[in-house]
Amino acid sequence: MLFTVTIGLVIACLLVPFGKFFRNNKSIVLALVPFMLFCYFLQKIPEISSGRVLFESTSWVPALGVNLGFRLDGLSLLFALLITGVGTLIFIYASAYLKGHAYLDRFFGYLLLFMSSMLGLVLSNNIILLFIFWELTSISSFFLIGFNNTDDESRRSALTALSVTGLGGLFLLAGLVWAGSLADSYSLGDILNHADTIRGSVYYPVILLLFLAGAFTKSAQFPFHFWLPAAMKAPTPVSAYLHSATMVKAGIFLLARFTPVLGGTMLWQWTLMGVGGFTMLYASLLSLSKRDLKSLLAYSTVSALGVLTFLLGMGTDYAVIAACIFLLAHALYKAPLFLVTGIIDHETGTRDLTRLSGLGRVLWPVALAGGLAALSGAGLPFTLGFIGKDLIYESTLHYKPLWAWYFTGVAIVTNVGLVAAAFLAGVRPFTGREREEYRQVHLPGAGFWVPPLLLAVLGLVSGVFPGWTGAHLAEPAVKSIFQQYIPVQLKVWHGFNLVFILSLGTLATGLVVYFINTPGFRRWEFISVLERIRPGVVFGRMYIRTKQVAAAYTNFFHDGYLRSYIIKIILFAEALLIYEVYRGGPFRIDFSKLSPVRFYDIAIVFILVGALYKTLKTSSRLTAVVCMSIVGYAICLLFVIYSAPDLAMTQFTIDTLTVVLFVLVLYRLPPFLKVKALKVMVRDAAISILFGVLLAIICLRVLMEPARYNISDFYAKYAYTLGKGRNVVNVILVDFRGFDTMFEIVVLSVAAIGVYSLLKLRLKASEKE
Amino acid sequence: MRSTILQTASQYLLPILLLFSFFLLIRGHYSPGGGFVGGLVASIAFVLHSFANGVENTMRIIRYKPLSLIPIGLGISTASMLVPVFFRKPVMTSLWVPDQIPVFGNVGTTLFFDIGVYLLVVGVVLTILFTISLFSE
């Protein structure tokens, strides 16, 4: 399973050098990647539906208990199929939709990155790994939302989405680590086994809330829902893929995955049902007041996510089965609706419902896809949506008697909104009178309308033969949510009972709402009142304030004078050192312990002081630089005498290069400023003397303190046996602390690239003049 | 300000210094030296040459842009880190060729890590210095 996650990442990396090849017509080839993975997961269905769970593990950072552990059970398989299946069609659609875009290769790179991290998220069997992939989905979503990076609005919504989901991710990390430390393992299997320990712990409410913060932000539950409608700035394939079919369901996945660990308590039930119930009702009503097709669909997606949270919170057999089926049904009708909207937008240049009508004649395959998707979304009999809706009513009606009717009522109102929204998006633009301004609209290529049509037909087929879907997709998923076997038998026809009447009633009311909700109808504006209770405004204010503080902070510290930077840095270091000296309390210097002063030392110190004096007194910058380098070389000599050849060598070369650097920029610097003002001289002298004295105190202190030789002993002992080297310094650098070196050289490269690009940019600018 | 003596000397010093830097790199695991110092010495060799003959001439000797050494060095180091993964060992486990190799001694992934550091340091120093010196002209 490792390869399913890495293959996308590898290809995304390969797109950096070879992306140009795919920029034109060949980008459709990339759809083979998700398609291949889809086939891989398809052939796993029989094995998983027979009740097996596949594991795979590669050690990664064993010291931290983090392994590349993957598990394929019913729940991950359902998600993996959605990710790769919808992904294949999205890839095909996107290569048509963004044809000729200058950064098409980059787009597919991000998309592959997203797909891989999403797969990693649903497959991971290690919670730290799960978190890494969780964050990667947020990051790739950030790039995809802000894909039109010249648009200010789309950059802002990308940042909003990243901050909201990223913040939730941090809470999730805390929750995961906490749960992991209670179970004493980061492996998901161990945590599932220690479910009772975690549920019985005093910290359970805190852990639960941390998890929920992660899940609710990701799955756009009220009050964090506002980032999702804003994320609709992304290109439409992204909205269809990430923001309706897959990524936003990561939160739902998390809830489902941890149901056996955290679920079943009163706190779990009421929080999830409360938040989910409110979100589904609120978003469903709000969606009806929207006139922009994409934001209509966005709110209806938020509502569907609310339904899923609500169902998982309820936690009964019926509810969890309903959640699995509704999850599938929703992906199969919402993604095509988004894609259809994208086609309409692409061909007519508008997504405004009040200006769209009568497109059905020209765009007939698109209309067919939209109509079928709308039927499934509305829950007409013989569609998967119908079965999903049935199961939702079954689960609310079978809940505790006192609450059953309230819940059913809420579910009915929500579903009426969803029905009307599905029809508005999938049918309205294609019916009605044909418009003059859309005369020249023509049917786009097959790459556009085949993917939505295929998805919509799939929603229909799986509705006609629900037995297979139930037994092979839903049943294993339900099994992994409950960790026990629960039979799932879906039928097209449940008989003429209360649930059926409710379903028909919902459909009829939804249709009435659809017909009332004409472009001219203004009465719905009372619903817009709901929009006033949105935390998005608060978030926007926080965003502006953060930027103001950052600007003020930068202006204070970044005044453009090198000397002022150095003063600030040194003063800060001095403050730390003073604190350290103060904390350490008084100490006594035992001169007898110090090594005797030799002739060499005196000579070197003599040179050092002379060079320093000359540095201060000279009136030429070049002399000052040379004198400073003499100071450096003198220190190197000290290193040599006190047997630190490695240090001396490095210091020596660095000093040489510093002088060279200085000489190079010498002519660029402003004229040498001989400081005359007494005030400045006193200030600088005070700061530098204090710094020197503090460092001297610290050094003496280090010598006096009883040394702890554990670390140096360890290195000296194991350098040869483990690192196979006699030069301990080098063994530490390349072996024991190799990661540090790795990061250091990365920092070096960043610095070099920074210098290069800054100067090159200025060179180019001056060349233009 | 071209000095003939310096020009002539730098012609001979460049290969000697480069050889010395390579020597430092190889012996690093047993005696003072290592990729970092080796890289610094090598870049000093080039800098000396550029002082005598001008940056353009030195660039001609190197042939490639120093900037391109950075990704190569970083790539070698990263690759040497990742090699153990293919042997089903955690990242950065040092692997060794079992037999001693003349001149080099024990050869393992850490040597390649050091070679990466060496190339990267040369790339970084030369990029910074040459860019600045071209800029100051």
B40 CB near a chain A CB, below 8 Å? Answer: yes
What is the total count of domains within chain B?
Answer: 1
Minimal-distance CA residue of chain B relative to A741: B117
Q: Are the beta carbons of A727 and B32 separated by less than 8 Å?
A: yes
Of A727, A749, A755, the CB nearest to B28: A727
With CA atoms as reference, report the closest residue to B126 among B75, B53, B68: B68
Rounded Cα–Cα distance for residues A490 and A463 (Å): 9
With CA atoms as reference, report the closest residue to B35 among A653, A666, A66, A531: A653
B96 CB near a chain A CB, below 8 Å? Answer: yes
- Residue of A56, A726, A730, A764 for testing the chain B interface, max B β-carbons within 10 Å: A730
Tell me how far CA of residue A154 lies from CA of A231, B66, B103, in angstroms: 8, 37, 59
Q: Are the beta carbons of B81 and A742 separated by less than 8 Å?
A: yes
Over the stretch A95-146, which tens digit does the pLDDT of each residue have? 888 887 788 888 888 999 999 999 999 999 888 889 999 999 999 999 999 8
Give Cβ neighbours of residue A397 (< 8 Å, ≥ 6 apart): A404, A408, A498, A499
Shortest distance between the Cα of B108 and any Cα of chain A, in A, equals: 9
What is the total count of domains within chain A?
Answer: 2
Over the stretch B81-126, which tens digit does the pLDDT of each residue have? 888 777 777 776 777 777 777 666 667 778 888 899 999 999 999 9
pLDDT of residue B42: 92
Q: Are the beta carbons of A752 and B133 separated by less than 8 Å?
A: no
Q: Does residue A425 form part of some domain?
A: yes
Tell me how far CA of residue A341 lies from CA of A148, A362, A373, A452, in angstroms: 18, 15, 12, 10
Q: Are the beta carbons of B28 and A730 separated by less than 8 Å?
A: yes
Give Cβ neighbours of residue A724 (< 8 Å, ≥ 6 apart): A731, B29, B94, B96, B106, B108
Of B31, B70, B134, the CB nearest to A727: B31
Which tokens sit at A447? 């790459």
Over the stretch B10-60, which tens digit does the pLDDT of each residue have? 889 999 999 999 988 888 777 777 888 899 999 999 988 888 888 888 888
Q: Does residue A81 form part of some domain?
A: no
Q: Are the beta carbons of B94 and A735 separated by less than 8 Å?
A: yes
B13 CB near a chain A CB, below 8 Å? Answer: no
Which tokens sit at A358? 């009568």
Tell me how far CA of residue A383 lies from CA of A310, A325, B93, B132, in angstroms: 22, 11, 55, 68
> Contact at 8 Å (CB) between A435 and A519?
no
Q: Does residue A55 form part of some domain?
A: no
Which residue pairs, CB below 8 angstroms and at least 24 apart, start in A705-713?
Answer: none
Q: Are the beta carbons of B37 and A62 separated by less than 8 Å?
A: no
On chain A, the residues whose CB falls within 8 A of the CB of B78 are 742
On chain A, the residues whose CB falls within 8 A of the CB of B83 are none
- Residue of A66, A653, A665 for testing the chain B interface, max B β-carbons within 10 Å: A653
On chain A, the residues whose CB falls within 8 A of the CB of B38 are none
Over the stretch A377-404, which tens digit does the pLDDT of each residue have? 887 777 888 888 888 888 888 887 777 8
Q: Are the beta carbons of B89 and A654 separated by less than 8 Å?
A: no
Rounded Cα–Cα distance for residues A97 and A347 (Å): 10
Which tokens sit at A459? 């929603």
DSSP state of A43: T
Residue type, A291: R
Q: Does residue A664 form part of some domain?
A: no
Q: Are the beta carbons of A745 and B120 separated by less than 8 Å?
A: yes
Domain around A749: 711-769
Minimal-distance CA residue of chain A relative to B76: A742
Shortest distance between the Cα of B111 and any Cα of chain A, in A, equals: 8
Q: Are the beta carbons of A664 and B132 separated by less than 8 Å?
A: yes
Burial class (CB in 10 A: 0-12, 13-18, 19+), A246: buried
B34 CB near a chain A CB, below 8 Å? Answer: yes
Shortest distance between the Cα of A254 and any Cα of chain B, in A, equals: 28
* Spans of chain A below 70 pLDDT: 24-25, 492-495, 518-537, 706-710, 723-724, 763-769
Which tokens sit at A603? 């000579």
On chain B, the residues whose CB falls within 8 A of the CB of A748 are 120-121, 124
Which tokens sit at A226? 């506002």
More confident residue, A538 or B65: B65
B117 CB near a chain A CB, below 8 Å? Answer: yes
Looking at the DSSP bridge assignments, the partners of residue A71 are A55
How far is CA A352 from its chain centroid? 31
pLDDT of residue B120: 92
Q: Are the beta carbons of B40 and A653 separated by less than 8 Å?
A: yes
Which tokens sit at A79? 């998600």
Which tokens sit at A558? 């970044």
Rounded Cα–Cα distance for residues A473 and A469 (Å): 5
3-state helix, strand, coil in chain A (%, to 5): 80, 5, 20
Domain around B118: 4-136
pLDDT of residue B1: 57
Of A660, A729, A752, the CB nearest to B47: A660
How far is CA A555 from its chain centroid? 31
Q: Choose the final residue of a domain: A533, A558, A583.
A: A558
With CA atoms as reference, report the closest residue to A243 among A262, A258, A228: A228
pLDDT of residue A507: 83
Rounded Cα–Cα distance for residues B34 and B40 (Å): 10
> Contact at 8 Å (CB) between A336 and A370?
yes
Could you write out the three-class secondary structure of A283-323? HHHHHHCCCEHHHHHHHHHHHHHHHHHHHHHHCCHHHHHHH
Q: Choose the final residue of a domain: A507, A526, A558.
A: A558
Q: Does residue A392 form part of some domain?
A: yes
Q: Does residue A60 form part of some domain?
A: no
In sequence order, what DSSP letters do the residues of A133-202 get, joined into one string? HHHHHHHHHHHHHTTSTT-HHHHHHHHHHHHHHHHHHHHHHHHHHHHHHHHT--BHHHHHHTHHHHHHST
Minimal-distance CA residue of chain A relative to B113: A734
pLDDT of residue A156: 85
Q: Count A/B contacts: CB-CB distance under 8 Å.
A: 146
Q: Are the beta carbons of B35 and A59 separated by less than 8 Å?
A: no
Minimal-distance CA residue of chain A relative to B27: A727
Q: What is the pTM of this model?
A: 0.73
Give Cβ neighbours of residue B15 (< 8 Å, ≥ 6 apart): none
B127 CB near a chain A CB, below 8 Å? Answer: yes
Q: Are the beta carbons of A756 and B67 separated by less than 8 Å?
A: yes
Integer Rg of chain A from CA: 33
Residue type, A242: L
Burial class (CB in 10 A: 0-12, 13-18, 19+), B95: middle
> Contact at 8 Å (CB) between A650 and B37?
yes
Is residue A223 reached through a cis peptide bond, with omega within 30 degrees of 0 on the bond before it? yes
Minimal-distance CA residue of chain A relative to B119: A745
Q: Are the beta carbons of B136 and A59 separated by less than 8 Å?
A: no
Work out the pLDDT band at B130, boundaries 50, 70, 90.
confident
